[in-house]
Amino acid sequence: MTTAWRAPTATGPVHATVTVPGSKSITNRALLLAALSTGGGSLAGALRSRDTDLMIAALRSLGVRVTIADDGVVRVDGSAGLRGSSEVDCGLAGTVMRFVPPAAVLADGPVRFDGDPYARERPMRTVLDALRTLGAQITGDALPFTVHATGSMRGGEVTVDASASSQFVSGLLLSGARYDDGVTVRHHDVRDGKPVPSMPHIEMTVRMLREAGVAVNDSDVNTWRVEPGPIASRVWTIEPDLSNATPFLAAAAVTGGSVTVPGWPADTTQAGDGIRHILTRMGCQVTVSGHGCTVDGPTALSGVDVDMHDVGELTPTVAALAALAESPSRLRGIAHLRGHETDRLAALATEINGLGGAAEETEDGLVITPAPLRAGVWHAYADHRMATAGAIVGLAVAGVEVDDIGTTSKTMPDFPLLWNEMLSPTTSSVESAG
């Protein structure tokens, strides 16, 4: 069922403090690492959303015990081993479809994977071929596929073309310590020499593995070595989701207001931290202090020419801002977004142009030129970040309707509530229930 939503228009500068829920990327890594650890683990501040619930359901289907206490603390125990003869629903979650199969090879029987209709289009073959090279038997090259697990995995060295997604590398590294020979992953794009996108996400993987006592060598460019050994039990404290914070910070940028997101980590591997630099270049004042990250918007927003290769996740937010800026923008280095929840480059260009804007797809990104926007329907394409981009545009353009705001449940089910509260003149502080 889709939920149409009239995006509220700001009646003046937005002033608010918005607490955002935990990071999807950290939550799903922590859940998996806890499941593969010797004595289980727990997560404080974990995100509850469709993607993280899918990860929990996947682990439960593999026989892992996952309990969620009243205070939201998630306890995970996979010490009894992973069970086969199971089914995993990946939904549209890249972190489930790319991270769980490398763990499922350790189960004691077949594990079948499937997902949403569009998930069947998302690139998977690189991971599946890599697992075959490392000793797994798998039928299928995209969703749906079956991992014929035998209880152990040889591991060793594998060369992959990870230019379509950093998740191919992260998935192999997260489970690699549990393979007999560990794993060494090399990136090599034979055809075009394209680099791995979203490198902060691989740094997140490496950092979290090290925090769980796993030896990782990433000293050579494009090569990661995970030594075999136990994954330690620990308590994971999940940072706020900085990518999901960006639409709220964008509200300050668009309206010349001031928005603070508390709990902004001083040292993080989250790609979302990159928004500070981009907003500064667009004319905002951005400060990080003990209070959090505060963005003060300018009277008029400047366009920006920016390489988004490392921070592709932020593209829908930045494209929405660019459509409202007073000078042209060029977003580069993001051809891989064509394999995200939807083809994000096509979707953004179509939706901006559908409201009278001027966005053009390039080979590796978007060029967005200022043009007056008008009321109309903004399509979400089952993509949470397309929906939130529509909300940003709606702040400045009256009569924008997002055709399915429900897609924000992928990583932020409370989005409509938080957005409305941020805009409510009587509310200055907004807490997430998530």
Ligand X SMILES: O=C(O)C1=C[C@@H](OP(=O)(O)O)[C@@H](O)[C@H](O)C1
Ligand Y SMILES: C=C(OP(=O)(O)O)C(=O)O
Chosen residue from 206, 385, 412, 423 binding ligand Y by CB under 6 A: 385
Contacted by 37, from ligand Y, ligand X, none: CB < 5 to 8 Å by type: none
- Contact of 318 with 279, CB cutoff 8 Å: no
> Interface with ligand Y includes 234 (CB under 6 A)?
no
Secondary structure (3-state) at 293: strand
Taking CB under 6 A as the binding criterion, the range among 6-14, 78-86, 88-96, 260-268 that sits at the site for ligand Y is 88-96
| 340 near ligand Y, rule: CB under 6 A | yes
Residue 414 interacts with which of ligand Y, ligand X, none, CB < 5 to 8 Å by class: none
DSSP per residue, 390-420: HHHHHHHSTTEEES-GGGGGGT-TTHHHHHH
Residues near 290 by Cβ (< 8 Å), separated by ≥ 6?
none
Q: CA end-to-end span of the chain, whole Å?
A: 22
* Residue 338 assigned ligand-binding role: no
| The only residue of 95, 184, 329, 342 in contact with ligand Y, by rule CB under 6 A | 95
Choose from ligand X, ligand Y, none: what does 170 bind? Cβ within 5-8 Å by kind.
ligand X
Residues that bind ligand X (CB under 6 A): 25, 94-95, 165-167, 170, 197-198, 201, 312-313, 336
Count, residues near ligand Y per rule CB under 6 A: 8
Phi-psi region of 143 (alpha: psi -120 to 50; beta: other; left: phi over 0): beta
Instruction: Say whether residue 93 binds ligand Y (CB under 6 A).
Output: yes
Sign (positive/negative) of CA torsion 60, 64, 65, 69?
A: negative
Q: Which is closer to ligand Y, CB of 77 or CB of 313?
A: 313
Of 273, 313, 403, 421, the one binding ligand Y by CB under 6 A: 313
Residue 198 partner contact from ligand Y, ligand X, none using kind-dependent CB cut-offs of 5 to 8 Å: ligand X
**Does the annotation place 329 within a ligand binding site?**
no
Give the nearer residue to ligand X in terms of CB position, either 167 or 342. 167
DSSP assignment of 151-209: S----EEEEE--TT-THHHHHHHHHHTTSTT-EEEEE--TTT-PPPS-HHHHHHHHHHH
Residue type, 373: L
- The alpha-carbon radius of gyration of the chain (Å, integer) is 21
Q: What are the residue numbers of the active site?
A: 313
User: Given the DSSP bridges, would you call strands 216-217 and 223-226 parallel, antiparallel or unpaired?
Assistant: antiparallel
Q: How far apart are CA 375 and CA 115, in angstroms?
A: 34
Residues flagged as binding site for phosphoenolpyruvate: 24, 94, 122, 167, 344, 385, 410
Residues flagged as binding site: 24-25, 29, 94, 122, 165-167, 198, 313, 340, 344, 385, 410
Binding site for ligand Y (CB under 6 A): 93-95, 313, 340-341, 385, 411
